[in-house]
Structure 1
Amino acid sequence: MEDKKSKIKIAVTLISLAAAAVTIAFTAAHYRRRRKTRSSCYLHAEGKPQFSFRRVLADNSFSHFKHLKRSSASSNEENGSNLHPYEQEIKALLEKPPVDFKLDSTGWNSKVSSSYVWVETESQLKELADLLSNERAFGVDTEQHSLRSFLGFTALIQISTRTEDYLLDTIALHDAMAVLRPVFADPNICKVFHGADNDVLWLQRDFHIYIVNLFDTAKACEVLSKPQKSLAYLLETYCGIYTNKLLQREDWRQRPLSAEMLEYAQTDAHYLLYIARCLIEELRQHDIDNSTSLDEKPHYVVEATRRSNMICMQVYTKEIDLYPGEAAASSILSRHFDVHEGSSTSSEKQDLVRRLCTWRELMVS
């Protein structure tokens, strides 16, 4: 009897193990299929996607970054100095800040829909440039990729008008992005960003795109002394929208983007024009509430636009070491060595670290 019970227990155990094995195998197969459907042509390419860029403005060399030089109305050349090619236009806006914003909400959809335009061909990009040239304002955001890339690059640009959201595959369009330079540099078109300090530099670095006439919703928050100035706060306050900012750290090279990433990217730009309009109305109300006479010039709106356009005056520069690998060597030595130790052994090790870092930098440049 005991022997029979023992055999039954063994049989039940074997059946349970077999069932568990089948479940694990099924789950693994399902996960592999899921990963395969979301796999990216860029992630699984033999080389890094940036290797396909024909024109790299900020490479891994130790040469200085060359800015766009506007030698004439019909030609563009590279400018080795740090002079801003649109300095005069931006200074004109700083001297006489635009205060007559006409952010018309006619036709604007208050909620993000699943409808957007994915731009990945040069013809689509030219069509978008023509469309934007007729707009009074549009919202812009970017998604960056920096993993396994020395300087990083722009992997996606989101542009929103009153009626449409556009997601630009800037990996596929990297060498054609100059098409958008005129509209971004047009002082008659307001570009709405949130926290544009880095975006301005990244667009210069990757595409020689320079922003002229910027309204930064983060700067408006500063002027209004808002308790917070994050985009997440503004989306929640003015639009009742909650976003997962952890998605900002996703690998934005992957194609196709997941549904969650697409919604996140679209949301960041979609509400910018509406948020800007709300903030401008508050700025104007502050001007009215704090004015002593009807003839007094607006202060709050002017200050917000002035701070915004000051961001445009930034120029991108590459961090160049005194010798290749200097920054990496300094980081390693500070963490693992006592640089003040005077022994010959320590000096030899430090010298070896510097040599290895220099070799690594030169090999990948």
Structure 2
Amino acid sequence: MYVAVKGGEAAINNAHRLLADRRRGDRSLPSLTIEQIVEQLGLAVDRVMAEASLYDPALAALAVRQSRGDMIEAIFLLRAYRTTLPRFGASVPVDTAGMQVERRVSATYKDLPGGQLLGPTFDYTHRLLDPSLLEDLPVDEPARRPAPDEDIMRVSDILAHEGLIESDGEFPDDHEAGDITREPMEFPMPRDLRLQALARGDEGFLLALAYSTQRGFGRNHPFVGEIRIGEVELEMDVPEMGFSVSLGRIKVTECQMVNQFKGSAKAPPQFTRGYGLVFGQSERKAMSMSLVDRALRAEELGEDITAPAQDEEFVISHSDNVQATGFVEHLKLPHYVDFQAELALVRRMRAEIATRNNDGGMQEAAE
């Protein structure tokens, strides 16, 4: 034990130097800049911002660079930085109807008010490696669509006009949004806190749960009502001024998932909603979030809870990748005393069994 302690500090310092060396890589190649990561690895930056709950592309890019591209490590770094920031207040609710839309698609209506807008997407690309990207070749400038003069109607508004979908629901006027980063989680959770947890949950975990609901482990029969990606304006109320002021614009992805509902004693047959909203361009995450959100509304809608994606405590408690990483990776830290105790226990149990077997063999021999 003393030998390990004696060499520990020097070994850790050298491990840090080795990490910095591997992070830099071949010195004959130019070093990655933060601007390059923001502009050319934007989807990685968006994921780090979303799951760290901090919108700052430059800091997210720094975390990606520092972590050598390990997304969860980058998320951990950015969350740790987030805890050092002062909290001034909360923004007013964002109205995504006023989004400056870059991409907007619906699987429910072909012809939509405002039209379908494909935007930047992999949906129609061939999943083949492109050798031309090995060189820095010029890229054609895309056509620019003029911004619409008025807000683009949501698909849910079309259905609501006919009374075919549940309402958004309203909180009391005195309701204050909770904050899962400042208050301990308690179950059952109100939907606003649940959506917060899902928004910063691990994309892969939520994707797997969303897939499970479509394979029969839940009651989802979903349609993508609408996915929209674009910039929204953030505003904050300033009591001294008597009105809200703009803080700037951020890019978000919103998904409204439309689901069948046969009705209940309290509600007629209608469509129900699953909702997802995340920082940046993260539509796989927003879709997964909306599917899981709908699954977690099972009790509210009077449905049987039969699947993992419908179990609030299971989903929320295991969706946080930073927390999950801590529990899994702590296993590689020293557990010498614990292991020696279990090792002694196993040896004693084996010795007791061997003694009983020997005693039994001697008794049989005597008979």
Interval of TM-score (by shorter of Structure 1 and Structure 2): under 0.3
Q: TM-score, normalised by structure 2?
A: 0.24
Q: TM-score, normalised by structure 1?
A: 0.25
Larger RCO: 1 or 2 (CA < 8 Å, sep 6+): 1
Greater per-residue helix proportion: 1
